[in-house]
């Protein structure tokens, strides 16, 4: 099954920003109040994330939600 483009973009952005912030998946999970494996599943576009969890992850990364939904994130 092909992964949804929005999930791929979101996961890629989470991973990029997480790495820029020098956070492990476990550290981000703790900041966001979710399980570590959930972060990995999001980054691999395996989960269709809820709006509530999008907000939690944005807060954990200290970025506006729109940054996680943008296809213009720089490496």
Global pTM reads 0.91
Q: Answer whether residue 74 is part of any domain.
A: no
2-28 confidence digits (pLDDT tens): 899 999 999 999 999 999 999 999 999
User: Which residue segment(s) compose the domain that 47 sits in?
Assistant: 5-69
Residue 75 in domain = no
User: 74 in helix, strand or coil?
Assistant: coil
3-7: Cβ within 8 A, 24+ apart: 3/45, 3/46, 4/45, 4/48, 6/69, 7/45, 7/47, 7/48, 7/49
Tell me how many domains the chain contains.
Answer: 1
pLDDT single digits (tens) 26-71: 999 999 999 999 999 999 999 999 999 999 999 999 999 999 998 8
- Neighbour tally for 40: CB within 10 Å: 16
């Amino acid at each position: 099954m092909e992964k949804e483009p929005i999930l791929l973009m979101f996961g890629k952005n989470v991973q990029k920003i997480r790495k820029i912030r020098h956070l492990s998946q476990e550290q981000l999970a703790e900041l966001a109040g979710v399980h570590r494996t959930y972060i990995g599943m999001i980054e691999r576009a395996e989960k269709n994330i809820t709006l509530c969890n999008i907000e939690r992850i944005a807060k954990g990364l200290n970025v506006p939600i729109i940054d996680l939904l943008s296809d213009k994130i720089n490496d």
